[in-house]
Amino acid sequence: MLTTDRSTQLDELLGISIAEFDIPDHIYERAVERYEHAASWLADCWPDGQGEIYTQGSIRLGTMIAPVNPQDEYDIDLVCRRDIVKETTTQKQLKRGVGGALADYVAGQPESHPQLREGKRCWTLDYPHEPFHMDVLPAIPDREGLPSGILLTDRELSEWQHSNPIAYAEWFQERMRGEFLHLREAIAKRMDIEDAPPSLMKTSLQRTVQALKRHRDLYFAGQPKDAPASIIITTLAARAYTGGGSLHEVLIGVTARMPDLVERVNGLYVIANPVADENFADRWRGHPRRAERFFDWIEQAHADFAGLGEKLGVHHVLKEMARSFGELPAKRAGERLGISVAQARDAGALGIASTGLLAPTTTRPIPRHTFHGDAPTR
């Protein structure tokens, strides 16, 4: 049941809509089960524990979103770190060694029956009967970035690439620590924290990253190669996040500040990894159009998010949410109101009030609309 405060109502509608593209709990649990089985098998196949698999990216940060197309799969990102020194191997040998171990794992026909294929930087475990796949990135320890820094392989680059997914996740979590602790304390007053569903534990920063990723997917649906990488969105959003405020305020504030956080150094765009010697905007270097499209997109995202609170009337809000997040998330938010928005509009049952998103019928009913949005003549 929504409260009567307009800002709170808007936040609740936003939260419901964004939560709609969370990875469902049962799919998440199956993914964890598959990951743990593969990780355990690989750890045992190398002598003296000289290897480890761990999660990275959105599944580790709590910012994973469902694909726009229900036929597409969730992408689970893993790191497979071999604890060997750089001087004893090459990128090609490391890639081949991890691929061989994964091939042996697949040949053992584990219950999930994964299939293996090679990518540019990683190996992918495809699960024929699951809505997800796992990208396994070979790596070795980076002695210049201890304790958790890693060096990565890349078929297009001759040099080892520096990264640190563990430290990055710690940095991201630190950015939202204050809000997370406050949220955890509030939830603990209502239920055992261990029983709280994951959706209740999401901070406004995590929800903002999810909202931006979904908005990006819709905006670049026709040109997916121009879409900014999730790591760019996540890094800039985390830097732009100042803590506090409503979810709607955070969405507006973050999108307003993100463009100014993209640096220019010697004519090149720089979005620095906060924990490793890595420029996330490197791939813009040979594709200047991608940088231009990024700035166009984030301007549109800011305008769309700001527009959510400009008009009174729940149908206006749901219409704007559908444009930003898709029809289904907006529909779910409407259903949670306990009414059929389409039927209420058709009957003139929703009114425009000076306070609150919802109001009983007033002397100013919303006009009936046709499918295409034109008001029919009376």
Helix (H) or strand (E) holding 115: strand 115-118
- Whether 112 and 37 have beta carbons less than 8 Å apart is answered as yes
pLDDT over 60 (residue 195): yes
pLDDT, tens digit, 9 for 90 and up, residues 16-32: 999 999 999 899 999 99
**Residue 165 corresponds to which tokens in the numbers above?**
């997914």
The β-bridge relationship of strands 132-141 and 123-126 is antiparallel
Place of tokens 């121009």: 226
What's the mean pLDDT in 341-365? 39
Give the long-range contacts of residues 163-166, CB within 8 A, separation 24 or more.
163/139, 163/273, 163/276, 163/278, 164/273, 164/275, 164/276, 165/54, 165/56, 165/57, 165/60, 165/79, 166/54, 166/56
Residue 219 CA: distances (Å) to CA of 155, 185, 228, 302? 30, 37, 11, 13
Residue by residue, DSSP assigns 300-353 as HHHHHHHHTTTS-SHHHHHHHHHHHH-HHHHHHHHHHTTS-HHHHHHTT--B--
In a domain, 355, yes or no: no
78: β partners: 55, 136
Q: Tell me if 54 is assigned to some domain.
A: yes
The number of domains in the chain is 1
**What pLDDT, in 10s, does the model give residues 108-157?**
999 889 999 999 889 999 999 999 999 999 999 999 998 999 999 876 66
Answer yes or no: is 180 within a domain: no
Query: 51 in a domain, yes or no?
Result: yes
Please report whether residue 45 resides in a domain.
Answer: yes
Q: Which of 48-52, 75-79, 180-184 has the lowest mean pLDDT?
A: 48-52
Give residue for tokens 């231009």: 292
Whose tokens are 């060997």? That residue is: 84
Contact 150, 136 (CB under 8 A): no
Residue among 37, 73, 54, 35 at smallest CA distance from 137 = 54
- Residue 209: inside a domain, yes or no? no
Cβ count within 10 A of residue 269: 20
CA torsion, points 169, 175, 178, 184, in degrees to nearest 10? -30
Tokens of 272: 């620095």
Look-up of token digits 């409503």:
246
Q: Is residue 73 part of a domain?
A: yes
Q: What is the H or E stretch that residue 126 is in?
A: strand 123-126
Confidence of residue 51 (pLDDT cuts 50, 70, 90): confident
Supply φ then ψ for residue 269, to 5 degrees: -75, 140
309 belongs to a structural domain: no
What's the CA gap between 114 and 27, in Å, rounded? 16
- pTM for the whole thing? 0.86
For the purposes of burial, counting CB atoms within 10 Å of the CB of 343, is it exposed (0-12), middle (13-18) or buried (19 or more)? exposed
pLDDT value, residue 357: 47
Confidence class of residue 347 from pLDDT cuts 50, 70 and 90?
Answer: very low
User: Could you tell me the residue range of the domain that residue 72 belongs to?
Assistant: 25-163
The token pair at 291 is 């940088």
Q: How far apart are CA 352 and CA 363, in angstroms?
A: 9
The domain that holds 30 is classified in CATH as 3.30.460.90
Beta carbons of 60 and 234 less than 8 angstroms apart: no
Question: What's the rounded Cα separation, in Å, for the pair 278 and 23?
Answer: 29
3-state secondary structure of 46: coil
Per-residue pLDDT tens for 295-323? 999 999 999 999 998 877 787 888 889 99
The neighbour count for residue 72, using CB atoms within 10 Å, is 11
Burial label for 350, CB within 10 Å (0-12, 13-18, 19+), is buried
pLDDT of residue 262: 98
Lowest mean pLDDT among 181-190, 194-203, 277-286, 365-374: 365-374
